[in-house]
Amino acid sequence: MMDLIFHVDDLGATPRMSEQIFEAWEAGLLDGFSIFANCDHWPALTERLARNPERAVRLGIHLNLTEGTSVCPASEVPFLVDADGYFRHDFPGILKAYYSSFGDRRKRLVGEIEREWRAQIKTVIERIRPRRLDVVDSHMHIHMIPFLFRLACRLARAFSIPSLRLVREPFDAFGRESFSRPFAGNIVKHVLLSSFALQDAWFAKRYRILHPDGMLGVLYSGMMNEAAIRRQATLARRLGFKNLEVLLHIGKAATNELARWKNDTGKAAFVLSENRRAEFDALKRLKDTCRG
């Protein structure tokens, strides 16, 4: 038997996205969700969690270096943010910044990231009390970059967070989506993250951090559907996985909620996609039938 963990990222990105995620949780469709610390509607989030004190939830901190504004003052993390305090790097930008810098410059980069991530974790812990954080993950899986994964492990230990997402996904290219342009890009992500996971698994063991055996949600990111989840879950079971995180994105932003992306619809395309409704429908069908 294999345990499936149905999890959603991006709580706190926009009020509408958060509302849809909470509705799915309250309907019993989700096991957990991960929270952005740089949320602009914290009172609504804390009230909603407090409204359901007996309902279990796997709570994650969604570490972030690429979207919205920093939690730290911009003056404390000048390398990470632009003049307006918005994160100015993407995943490749962080990779390039680290591997092209040396000595004091590299130490400064890592120091700013640690400062910002500590502030993000502290913010979420304070806001969700008396609940506790159960897992560390990140936006765009950026914590999987080995130097950041090691940092995430240290922070998990420092804040007594028992688990961390390890992106280790069975490869499946049998769906009709595998012929699409987004799928080709997702294959690149899959290969990169899988290579990182080889080293990251060693760090997790060294720091005694728990993690599910694997996860789904990279190859079919933005287009998760029932057939893909069933195929990959079957493959994971055959590979001997005992537990599997199924990551979906079900919250869809409203067109008047794009300040987080500086009102750039191109950058916000992922959260505006109609595919998010399709992922919600897949979750609804699978929650009770895909376990075990």
User: Is the pLDDT reported for residue 177 higher than 90?
Assistant: no
Which pLDDT band, with edges at 50, 70 and 90, does 288 fall under? Answer: low
Residue 84 lies in a domain: yes
Query: How many folded domains does the chain comprise?
Result: 1
Which pTM was predicted? 0.95
Taking the C-alpha atoms of residue 136 and residue 156, their distance in angstroms, rounded to an integer, is 7
- Domain containing 233 — which CATH number? 3.20.20.370
Cα–Cα nearest to 134, from 25, 187, 216, 61:
61
Q: What is the mean pLDDT of residues 226-231?
A: 90
Residue 274 lies in a domain: yes
Residue 178 lies in a domain: yes
Query: What percentage of residues in the chain have a pLDDT greater than 70?
Result: 98
| Whole-number Cα distances in Å, 285 to 161, 216, 226, 252 | 31, 17, 8, 19
pLDDT value at position 291?
A: 47
Which pLDDT band, with edges at 50, 70 and 90, does 180 fall under? Answer: confident
Residue 65 lies in a domain: yes
pLDDT tens by residue, 248-262: 999 899 999 999 999
pLDDT value at position 182?
A: 85
User: Is the pLDDT reported for residue 178 higher than 90?
Assistant: no
Residue 206 belongs to what domain range? 3-286
Residue 291 lies in a domain: no
Q: What is the mean pLDDT of residues 53-66?
A: 96
Residue 25 lies in a domain: yes
Query: What percentage of residues in the chain have a pLDDT greater than 90?
Result: 86
Residue 292 lies in a domain: no
Taking the C-alpha atoms of residue 204 and residue 187, their distance in angstroms, rounded to an integer, is 24
pLDDT value at position 38?
A: 98
Residue 44 lies in a domain: yes
How many other CB atoms are there within 10 angstroms of residue 140's CB atom?
17
User: Is the pLDDT reported for residue 292 higher than 50?
Assistant: no
User: Is the pLDDT reported for residue 1 higher than 50?
Assistant: yes
